């Protein structure tokens, strides 16, 4: 079972019924899923030089909500991040947004996710620069993740960070106190909570809004969850994060077809026990959950900070000099391998390009977008 077949059968009806809850990003993502690897996107014709066999291959949509796409980009991203690894122990930190803020986060995805990133970065910078911890400028990378194993809405940030900082004088590095300890997680959670509140308050003043007043005030007096784990030299953690960079909330092998009541059977793994179980979701509930994880166009899901930011290459080079190591060479961009002939197994050569046909109305014909659909949609967090 693939996602496109679900959309072909049900998206038009779902979008017509719920178009007041959908934004332009949802329609674009659904259209991409339906068009992926079909004649709608054009393609290529290859020919075998030995037996003359011709094959037709259609282009991918490369949309981040499409489970068929992103495999090669995922490997390239992982290789690029592995090349940045330094000789230090690494830590994986997870900053979780409490339930009380999730409606606000979904309503204002573009600015609220930015606010989450900023609050996390300010918190980690503050702790790292404190002499009680690292006492210098750190480097870390963060990835936005919005889903649970059952496709629920659960926005949080995964951060991978070496336990090492560059001293203010640029002449030495400071290391974490132990291989299994970086920062006190309870203090991190409190600092992250306070940063989010301060940034919300500042935004309300600047934009003349009242987002803070709409949030249950009790959330500011509770403990927020921040997790930190040692992850060795970082390679496995980078590959783990890579799965969230160019992939969507669902992978197609987890789609097990329909049950007797017409519900979609979704294979899920329990994060604690590791055991697999099947969840049956009504079609509209499945599509609703998929929509929750379609990000606004242009929103950057992966961000780098400190000496790992794009503007701090000299700092990273300086760290390598101090450590007496050499940065790994930048991996070359990979190219799609030439397809092999299904008859004789020989490499095939490109014969011609199939141009993409003129774009029609597509999905918009059966489910027109409402006016203002480019704005963030209202919440569709409640099931049903």
**264 in a domain, yes or no?**
no
Pairwise pLDDT comparison (362 vs 41), residue with the higher score: 41
Q: What is the mean pLDDT of residues 230-243?
A: 90
Average pLDDT rounded to a whole number, residues 111-131:
96
Find, among 117, 148, 156, 142, the residue nearest to 281 by Cα. 148
Give the mean pLDDT of 214-241.
93
Residue 382 within a domain: no
Average pLDDT rounded to a whole number, residues 319-339: 81
> Which pLDDT does position 21 carry in this prediction?
86
In the prediction, which pLDDT does 373 show?
A: 43
pLDDT of res. 371: 46
In a domain, 318, yes or no: yes
pLDDT at 375 over 60: no
- Does residue 154 form part of some domain? yes
Number of domains in the chain: 1
Predicted structure pTM score: 0.88
More confident residue, 13 or 73: 13
60 is a domain residue? no
Asked if 77 contacts 242 with a C-beta cutoff of 8 angstroms, the reply is yes
Which residue range is the domain that position 225 belongs to? 84-249+292-323
CA distance readout (Å), 359 to 10, 40, 354: 22, 8, 14
Q: At CB < 8 A and 24+ separation, what contacts does 185-191 make?
A: 185/226, 185/227, 185/228, 186/223, 187/127, 188/93, 188/123, 188/127, 188/226, 188/228, 189/223, 189/224, 189/225, 189/226, 190/223, 190/224, 191/123, 191/126, 191/127
Residues composing the chain: 384
Residue 368 has pLDDT above 50, yes or no: no
Which range among 30-44, 174-188, 301-315, 358-372 shows the weakest confidence by mean pLDDT? 358-372
* Over residues 182-201, mean pLDDT: 96
CATH number at residue 195: 3.30.70
Residue 245 lies in a domain: yes
Q: Give 173-178 contacts, CB < 8 A, sequence gap 24+.
A: 173/136, 173/319, 173/322, 173/323, 174/134, 174/135, 174/136, 175/88, 175/134, 176/89, 176/91, 176/133, 176/134, 177/133
Residue 156 lies in a domain: yes
**How confident is the prediction for the chain on average, in pLDDT?**
88
Give pLDDT, residue 346. 83
CB 173 within 8 A of CB 322: yes
In a domain, 190, yes or no: yes
């Amino acid at each position: 079972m693939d996602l496109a077949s679900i959309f072909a059968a049900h998206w038009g009806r779902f979008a017509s019924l719920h178009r007041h809850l959908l934004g332009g990003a949802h329609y674009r993502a659904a259209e991409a899923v339906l068009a992926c690897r079909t004649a709608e996107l054009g393609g290529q014709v290859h020919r075998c030089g030995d037996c003359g066999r011709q094959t037709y291959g259609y282009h991918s949509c490369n949309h981040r909500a499409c489970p068929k796409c992103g495999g090669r980009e995922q490997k390239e991203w992982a290789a690029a991040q592995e090349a940045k690894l330094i000789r230090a122990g690494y830590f994986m930190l997870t900053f979780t947004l409490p339930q009380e803020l999730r409606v606000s986060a979904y309503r204002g995805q573009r600015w609220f996710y930015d606010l989450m990133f900023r609050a996390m970065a300010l918190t980690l910078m503050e702790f790292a620069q404190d002499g009680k911890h690292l006492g210098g400028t750190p480097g870390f990378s963060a990835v936005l993740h919005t889903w649970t194993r059952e496709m629920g809405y659960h926005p949080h940030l995964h951060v991978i960070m070496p336990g090492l900082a560059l001293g203010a004088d640029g002449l030495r590095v400071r290391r974490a106190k132990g291989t299994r300890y970086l920062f006190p997680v309870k203090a991190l959670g409190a600092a992250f909570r306070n940063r989010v509140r301060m940034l919300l308050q500042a935004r309300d003043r600047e934009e003349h809004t009242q987002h803070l007043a709409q949030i249950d005030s009790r959330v500011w007096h509770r403990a927020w969850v921040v997790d930190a784990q040692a992850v060795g030299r970082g390679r496995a953690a980078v590959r783990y994060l890579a799965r969230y960079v160019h992939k969507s909330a669902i992978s197609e092998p987890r789609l097990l077809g329909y049950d007797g009541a017409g519900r979609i059977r979704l294979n899920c793994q329990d994060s604690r026990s590791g055991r697999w179980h099947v969840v049956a979701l009504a079609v509209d509930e499945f599509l609703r959950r998929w929509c929750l994880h379609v990000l606004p166009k242009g929103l950057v899901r992966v961000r780098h900070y400190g000496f790992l930011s794009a503007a701090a290459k000299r700092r990273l080079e300086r760290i390598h000099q101090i450590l007496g190591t050499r940065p790994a060479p930048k991996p070359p961009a990979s190219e799609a391998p030439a397809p092999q002939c299904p008859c004789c197994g020989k490499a095939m050569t490109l014969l011609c390009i199939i141009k993409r046909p003129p774009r029609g109305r597509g999905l918009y014909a059966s489910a027109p977008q409402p006016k203002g659909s480019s704005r963030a949609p209202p919440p569709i967090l409640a099931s049903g």
